[in-house]
Amino acid sequence: MPRGARLTHPRRGGYTLCALYAPLPSIFKILVSPPGRKGIMPHINQGRGRIHAVLGALGLALAVPAATYAQQVPAPDVSALAVPREVTAGTDARLSPLLLKAKGQVNVWVQMQTSPLAAAAAKAKESGLPLTRGAQRAHLSQLDYEHDELSRTAASLGGRELARVSKAHNAVAFSIPAASLSALAAQPGVLTVRPVIDYQLDVSNPTPETVPYIGATAVQNLGVTGKNVRVAVLDSGVDYTHSDLGGSGDLADYTAAYGTETGDPANTVLPSKPGLYPTTKVIGGYDFVGEQWPNGPLAPDRNPIPCGIGVLISGSKPATTCDGTHGTHVADIIAGASSDGTHKGVAPGASLYAVKVCSSISTSCSGIALLQGMDFALDPNGDGDISDAVDVINMSLGSNYGQFEDDLTAASENASRLGVVVVCAAGNAADHPYIVSSPSIAPGAISVAQTQVPSAKFYPLVINSPASIAGTYNDTTTVDWAPVQDATHDGFVGKDVVYTGRSCPADTLAADPTGQVALAIRGSCSVSLKVDKLFAAGAVGVLVMMADASEPISFSYGGGTQLGPTLIILKSYGDLIRSVATANVTVHDSQPLVKSVVGTSARGPSYSYQTIKPEIGAPGASLSAIAGTGTLEAAFGGTSGATPMIAGSAALLLEALPHASPAEIKARLMNNTETQIQTAPNIFGPQLAPATRIGGGEVRVDRALNAKTIAWVLEDETAGISFGAPSISQTGAFHKTVLIYNASNSKRRYSVSADFRDATGQATAAARFNLPSRVDVGPRGVRSIDVALTVDSSKLATWTLNGGSQGGNGSLQTALELDGHVTISDTTERITLPWSILPHKAANVRAGDEVELRGGTGTVRLSNSGTLPGRTEVFAWTGTSKRISRGLLPKPGDNFAVIDLGQVGVRQATAGSTPVVQFAINTFGKRAHPNYPAEFDIFIDANRDGTPDYLIFNLESGGFGVSGQSVVAVVDLSTGAGTIFFFADADLNSSNMIMTAPLAALGLTSTSQFDFSVFAFDNYFTGKLTDSIENMTFSFAAPRFTGTGLPATGVPAGGTATLTVNEVAGGAAASPSQAGLLLLYRDAAGREAQAVRIGADDDN
């Protein structure tokens, strides 16, 4: 690897709280600051990877030239998983490759070979011989013995134990010198040694409208309230002194329990005042993080109270206060109940455990604390007998582009198998393919989307004049702290607009807004502070334009007192207004948004399993308790608020059905939803939401309770029928087995049918179902049916998605995705299961692997058995790497990814009149999305002096989880200046990537001979190098071989084409690394790349 290639340790991503709390500064902080482990942060975007750390070390601010950036590479987006060469070279496979180059003191999890208690108990239960209490304790005793032995060894190696877990996961965390890692990994019983990664939170609140809307009030009126059901809230803590959560509501009680600032010793011990804690509502809990993390070490204590609104953060300069109310909101939505009976959550009779795993002073959640919190939830009294495991776990947190290697995902799956209903936020990263979060992707967990509350409305912006831009603009949103009112429109009636610039408190306004509508741009400070400044300056209304192409979002309150009607609009709308001398605007009458998906709710399918995630939706902007205020409530938005609606619904069902398994609870909820849920009716009109945005539909818990029929797919642990994302070159046949349970006491005959989401999907005639039209199921009986789907590739729409320019285009995914519902019904009941497939119309090109030249020339015959012309890209094949053994790849919960390089190629091309170089990278193993978990770094030595001059690498445009678009950056290593010129040319579910850069930006010309090396990094978990192909030399003017003659349209469907190969004089000396030609196949049903080795005349 070139000297200085790795400039600093990458920022590791983390779990985020799934809430729309944070304005731009908070999100920006998450994108550029290392949160620790997956420094779990609420579902704001917790970025993963190394990009920003490298840029920071270079002092680099990436510039995007407008003209050049628009030159999008028209190619599919391709990525792959890779395993480090160092691993294959004989290093201990138990030591994560991510730690091979670690230095100094590191925090690691050491996973043991013995199964954790939850997995052992689940396996025993499935075999019909459940573990006794004594057997459980004996199992834990064995694990403790192993942990003790390992801890003593670690201490002798200079390590210090940080934590141990044994129920949901079997591992011990240590802080230990990196030099001792190999010795630690070599100890008996060690399965893996991997870095600790942290996470982030997601956010929302229950109002009088949401609880009855989902049917919860109807269930409560039957006397079912969640009584005797225990829910663990893994979050930022719960304010048990709040009147909605069993407390007195007296602020003096909160001060007695927490103190006046984060450093107050009162929050480290249980309250001395009798009756403060535990309460009849919050019956227990634990604080696994303390008050200073992540700015200080973890400091666990027994008091799980959060740092509430306005509490001082000790030692902060300037003085800063807390906003640690996330967990309190969540808890109130699940099971809140005021003493006067006027305020009720979904399951007001349920009991809560406050498990504090997220920071009091940031939105990060500790990876260590989370696994400890999962252990606590499975054994709240800590006696080693997990028969007292909670009934439901709520996690309104997660990590975008959720990966199965994530350890919290694995722990969640273990808990689900044990019998605990695990409910997780899908995330707030919007309508981007595959962005749905972990741990919600765990097959057994319930992944929750956010839908609009019944009263939600949108306010179109009407531009009255000038005529050149006049019209109605629907893509807007409001803020709850500065609403637009229906009756008067609050100053937005026929008012002129002036652009005031950034409009932060310290800024000088670009124009005087007195008596007019002010147009400000997002960025640099809280939106509410902009609004405050503008109304203080005389504005009668405020428009806030987004700073980039992202959708408008509803910002949280960040200060200010002079507030008035505010509308958030697209950047393009703002640009239009700014393009004319004077624009006159009105806010149109509001339109309802009920029964639609919130734009920020994250989309699937799941990255690792290709299954329908999220699986169900719930309204997520309810009013709920604010920590540290005694009695106050506020709206709480995001999937963080939707998730506890489902957790509360599960609690209601478990009271009525105490022996129901997690699979039954999930199936009941998914089978009985409101399926007519739309996608952004203000933008798309009456368009139903696809299955990978809303799952089965919007929750109706009263229907779920009354259901006498349940259906689910056993192998996928869900009531969704997922056929994946296959590439189909001819006809594809897919099957799923659906189990139907008749919970009634009489025999029933069901009709079975399948439909499409919309007429367009059905009209393609590409997909055809074969399933029984009727099925008889006896009383309390179970029958299985085969749901078969056949897809005709010739009738599929042409694939238009990619991972570059269209990598975040959910609308294109909606157009390509085929989905709908399978309905099972009789004369008394009707249930549904969502189904989905994301089919890629494909070619199937093949060629010979070798060609011998005669007289310096030869041919390669390519054939295509697919129904689509097979576009083939030809590169000089310059490097190869052996495939990593399957046994060395990461397993579920290992917390690292491996990017296994296969082949590398290079060629010169043009972008208009600009000469460019393109590097082709093919890996072993596909990635669902090219942004993660692979980063490819190409170091260019333009003058061949042995020192790299330039760096090319791929990254997500805008930051982690922001755009979904993969772009290519070019960095001048001598100055640190960087520029993005092109989108990456890569596809979804692919192992190929083409990276493009202008020759001039790399100090090259069309006659240059240069050296280059390619390095692959895990940019999701750890930022570590996993593989490389180094020291390649190539000349544009004199490649060793060329390949020409293929049709630009590709190898004809069902036909053949001939590639003519020529040897170039002097090429063997000028391009010594080239061994042949590398063929990349676009839209490939099988093999995506083929290296053709060429035997030249001079080789014989």
pLDDT of residue 24: 23
Report whether pLDDT(708) > 90. yes
pLDDT digits (tens, 9 = 90+) for 626-640: 888 888 887 777 888
| H or E stretch covering 181 | helix 181-185
SS3 readout for 316-351: CCCCCECCCCHHHHHHHHHHCECCCCCCECCCCCCE
Mean pLDDT of the chain: 86
pLDDT of residue 191: 77
State the pLDDT confidence band at 100, using cuts at 50, 70 and 90. Answer: low
pLDDT of residue 41: 29
**Arch. (CATH architecture) of 457-590:** 3-Layer(bba) Sandwich (3.50)
Report whether pLDDT(929) > 60. yes
pLDDT digits (tens, 9 = 90+) for 26-52: 222 222 222 222 333 232 223 334 433
Question: What's the rounded Cα separation, in Å, for the pair 737 and 1096?
Answer: 54
Q: Which of 11-25, 219-233, 470-484, 622-636 has the highest mean pLDDT?
A: 219-233
Question: What's the rounded Cα separation, in Å, for the pair 103 and 596?
Answer: 50
Task: Kindly state the tokens that stand for 982.
Answer: 């092109």
Least Cα distance to 810 among 1016, 600, 567, 595 occurs for: 600
Q: Letter for the amino acid at 411?
A: A
What secondary structure letter does DSSP report for 1034?
Answer: E
State the pLDDT confidence band at 734, using cuts at 50, 70 and 90. Answer: very high
pLDDT digits (tens, 9 = 90+) for 2-16: 333 333 223 344 565
Report whether pLDDT(717) > 80. yes
Confirm if 1045 and 847 have CB atoms less than 8 A apart.
Answer: no
pLDDT digits (tens, 9 = 90+) for 300-339: 999 999 998 878 889 888 888 887 889 999 999 999 998 8
Q: What is the pTM of this model?
A: 0.82
- The answer to whether the 457-590 and 700-841 domains have the same CATH topology is no
Report whether pLDDT(112) > 90. no
Give residue 41's region: left, alpha or beta (phi > 0; psi -120 to 50).
beta
- Express as a percent the part of the chain with pLDDT over 70: 88
Domain boundaries, the chain: 85-200, 210-253+280-453+598-681, 457-590, 700-841
Give the mean model confidence (pLDDT) for residues 869-879: 97
At residue 750's C-alpha, the angle toward residues 744 and 756, to 5°, is: 125
Confirm if 748 and 827 have CB atoms less than 8 A apart.
Answer: no
Report whether pLDDT(1085) > 70. yes
- Render the burial of 476-503: b for 16+ CB within 10 Å, e for the rest: bbbbebbbbeeeebbbbeebebbbbebb
Please, what CATH class does the domain formed by 700-841 belong to? mainly beta
- What sign results for the dihedral spanned by CA atoms 846, 848, 849, 851? negative
Q: What are phi and psi of 483, to 5 degrees?
A: -75, 160
CA distances for 223 relative to 216, 226, 337, 647, angstroms: 11, 9, 15, 18
State the pLDDT confidence band at 1099, using cuts at 50, 70 and 90. Answer: low
Which residue's entry shows tokens 């496979």? 93
Specify the CATH number of the domain 85-200.
3.30.70
State the pLDDT confidence band at 479, using cuts at 50, 70 and 90. Answer: confident
Higher pLDDT, 668 or 66: 668
Confirm if 244 and 625 have CB atoms less than 8 A apart.
Answer: yes
Confirm if 926 and 79 have CB atoms less than 8 A apart.
Answer: yes
State the pLDDT confidence band at 17, using cuts at 50, 70 and 90. Answer: low
**CATH code matching the domain that covers 210-253+280-453+598-681, chosen among 3.40.1280.10, 3.30.530.20, 3.40.50.200, 3.50.70.10:** 3.40.50.200
pLDDT digits (tens, 9 = 90+) for 930-959: 999 999 999 999 999 999 999 999 999 878
Confirm if 460 and 593 have CB atoms less than 8 A apart.
Answer: no
Report whether pLDDT(64) > 70. no
Give the mean model confidence (pLDDT) for residues 757-770: 80
State the pLDDT confidence band at 90, using cuts at 50, 70 and 90. Answer: very low
Confirm if 782 and 741 have CB atoms less than 8 A apart.
Answer: yes
pLDDT of residue 91: 41
State the pLDDT confidence band at 58, using cuts at 50, 70 and 90. Answer: very low
Give the mean model confidence (pLDDT) for residues 554-572: 86
Give residue 602's region: left, alpha or beta (phi > 0; psi -120 to 50).
beta
pLDDT of residue 651: 98
Least Cα distance to 922 among 1061, 1062, 1063, 1081 occurs for: 1081
pLDDT of residue 489: 53
pLDDT of residue 763: 58
Which residue's entry shows tokens 């006067």? 340
